A and B are shown apart, each in its own frame.
Chain A
Amino acid sequence: MAKAHVYKRDHVNTDEIIPARYLNTDDVAELATHCMEDLDTEFMAKHQPDDVIVCGDDFGCGSSREHAVWAIQGAKVGAVIAHSFARIFYRNCINCGFYPIELHGALDKINDGDELKIDYKAGTIDNKTQGMKIEFTPLPDFALEIVNDGGLLEHIKNKK
């Protein structure tokens, strides 16, 4: 079961997700050790694989560094649920085969520590703690295809 780590914040930016001082590497395992460091220094200590990050608007704004997505993937974050995502981050997620869940009002429906179960196909989040089923709009088909292929480059290869 995935636990929610809720940050009642808008505009969580890529400098907070992976600070630029670590951009001298693209080693995913190393990036993962600094995941979310400038937002919450405790994040990696309390995070368990498959746990979910929940935020407000404009998650991932700022730099185009895909390192932000790699750090999140490397840390085995199960999902990121946000009211909205910054454009480049959103696109990077899809390109890396990571499903960004856009859910307006997520901060009203999910509390820190809630146990969640996500059904990507159906577009639903089962909030076990609150006994609530929450719906989200699934990714459009073309993006889903890329995610299901494991990212853009695999997708390009598969198409050939």
Chain B
Amino acid sequence: MGMTITEKILARAAGKTSVQAGELVNANVDMIMCHDVTTPPAISMLKEKGIDKVFDPEKIVVTPDHFQPAKDIKSAELHKRLDSWAKEKKLPYYYKLGRAGVCHALLPEQGHIRPGEVIVGGDSHTCTYGAFGAFSTGIGSTDLAAAIATGVLWFKVPTSMKFTLNGSFGKGVYSKDVILEVIRRIGTDGALYRAMEFVGPALKEMTMEARMTITNMAIEAGGKNGVIGFDETTKAYLDGRLKGKTDYTVFESDADAEYVHEDTIDCSALEPMVAFPNLPSNGKTIGECAGEAMDQCYIGSCTNGRIEDLRIAAGIIKGNEVAIRTIVVPATPEIWKQAIDEGLAEIFYDAGCVVSAPTCGACLGGFMGILAEGEKCVSTTNRNFVGRMGHPKSGVYLASPATAAASAVEGKLADPRNYL
């Protein structure tokens, strides 16, 4: 029996020639992502237990992002704990304010993600990095502490689901619409404990940024990891970018690998999608929901706060005045600078949007765009649970940057194809 890419990566990391879904393995971890919410508790746990070791400083990347710049005294204390630990351990990849950005946008951009590796992070959307042909998954603080100290974690090898992306993208349709459609089909626990593997010719049309939007949201279907195989696009993105180790191993699924579920998405037939509160699986086509009044538009996050996303949004907003509060959050300092250099920031300013510094900010209801009772926000983020961006009686409508931008212009959910 053949193996999936997920099985092969875990087998390698566990020092085995083969593994099977369901098997428990102890895997060596190649990279650990640390941010300001889940890492400070991990550091405290390690101190408390008298475990003071960092298994390999080269394999840890630290960036404050959720509440940075510190939003209040308590988050400033979290940052202080993160800062003194990163300095004490002399971690070479510690991104301080000014270089720090939304973790899942920053790590690939700064060349810390390599194909074939096992990557963990104290954040559920760590599954993003699977876009590079890696096994990548989110963990909590205790696992994070254990990984930092030992470099080893146990995993149950997941069964895999295969999603074949066919066809060609129509005008106004993007990878966000693909993943919202997938989650609409299988539900928010449709991939529980499983790997979601994406294959098919439509991937050729997707940049690494677009692919990351898909794997980013694997967790919204309950997935353990999302994964996309390596190709020329991956190689082109990585060339000249990798920090530290520049070699990597490419794995691909065998033709006779086993999948517990297979589905096909015809990208040509997709329409812009909006996921209504309070589940990412509440997807509707824009045709079904255009006209629903909004109070705010949020363009940012690890899902869609990359330069490509800002370009798409700016293309639609250009020359228009936004009808609702519109907050644009470039995910990293590099994206922020690019947005200025390319004139995108000016387009947003002219249209009456605010452009903030890189942060997770309002994506998780932290700060910089919190919703009041009853307010509705069309957002390029990944999660629309109760109270996610503010008051428990506010609502988040998940959409692509194009749909969000068109909706900002009209003040209600709007079809981006009318602007392209």
| Measured CA separation A61–B75 after assembly (Å) | 24
Distance between B111 CB and nearest chain A CB, rounded to angstroms: 24
Q: Mark A127-160, 1 if CB is under 8 A from B, else 0.
A: 0000000000000001000000001111011000
A154 to B71, CA, bound (A): 34
Separation of A122 and B118 alpha carbons in the complex (Å):
37
Q: Which among A10, A15, A95 is the interface contact of B143 at CB below 8 angstroms?
A: A95
B189–A64 CB distance below 8 A: no
Give the nearest-CB partner of B150 in chain A.
A156
A84→B364 contact, CB < 8 A: no
Known A63-B364, A69-B140, A156-B149: A24·B67 in contact at CB below 8 Å: yes
Write the chain A residue with the least CB distance to B71. A24
Contact segment of B38-46, B86-94, B257-265, B309-317? B38-46
Classify chain A: how many residues form its interface, as a range.
Answer: 35 or more
Interface string of A25-47 (1 = CB under 8 A from B): 11000000000001100000000
Q: Which residues of B have CB within 8 Å of A8?
A: none
Rounded to whole Å, the gap between the CB of B72 and the closest CB of chain A is 6
Interface of B is mostly: loop
Q: Roughly how many angstroms separate A153 CA and B150 CA in the complex, as a whole number?
A: 11
* In the assembled complex, B57 has its CB within 8 A of some CB on chain A: no
Knowing A58-B188, A157-B51 touch, does A91 contact B140 (C-beta < 8 A)? yes
Provided the pairs A69-B140, A86-B192, A156-B149 are in contact, do residues A63 and B124 lie with their beta carbons within 8 angstroms? yes
A11 to B384, CA, bound (A): 12
Check B124–A38 contact: CB distance below 8 A: no
Per-residue CB contact flags for chain B residues 381-402 toward chain A (1 = under 8 Å, else 0) read 0010111100010000000000
The verdict on A88 contacting chain B, using a C-beta distance below 8 Å, is yes
A19 / chain B contacts, CB cutoff of 8 Å: 365, 387, 392
Report yes or no: A61 in contact with B139, Cβ–Cβ below 8 A: no
Decide if A152 touches B146 in the complex (CB within 8 Å).
yes
Chain A residues near B140: list those with CB within 8 A.
64-66, 69, 88, 91-92, 95
A57 shortest CB reach to chain B, Å = 6
Q: Which chain A residue shows the least CB distance to B124?
A: A64
Give A2 Cβ to nearest chain B Cβ, in Å. Answer: 25
- Residues in chain A near residue B131, CB distance under 8 A: none
Known: A11-B279, A64-B124, A88-B140. A21 touches B365 (CB 8 A): yes
CB pairs A–B below 8 angstroms (24 shown): A13-B386, A15-B364, A16-B386, A19-B392, A20-B366, A23-B37, A26-B41, A38-B386, A58-B192, A58-B222, A61-B188, A61-B222, A62-B124, A63-B124, A84-B189, A87-B222, A88-B140, A92-B143, A96-B142, A142-B24, A142-B154, A152-B142, A153-B46, A157-B51
A residues near B (Cβ < 8 Å) are 10-11, 13, 15-16, 19-21, 23-26, 38-39, 57-58, 61-67, 69, 84, 86-88, 91-92, 95-96, 142, 151-154, 156-157
The 3 closest A-B pairs by CB, nearest first: A66-B140, A24-B74, A95-B142
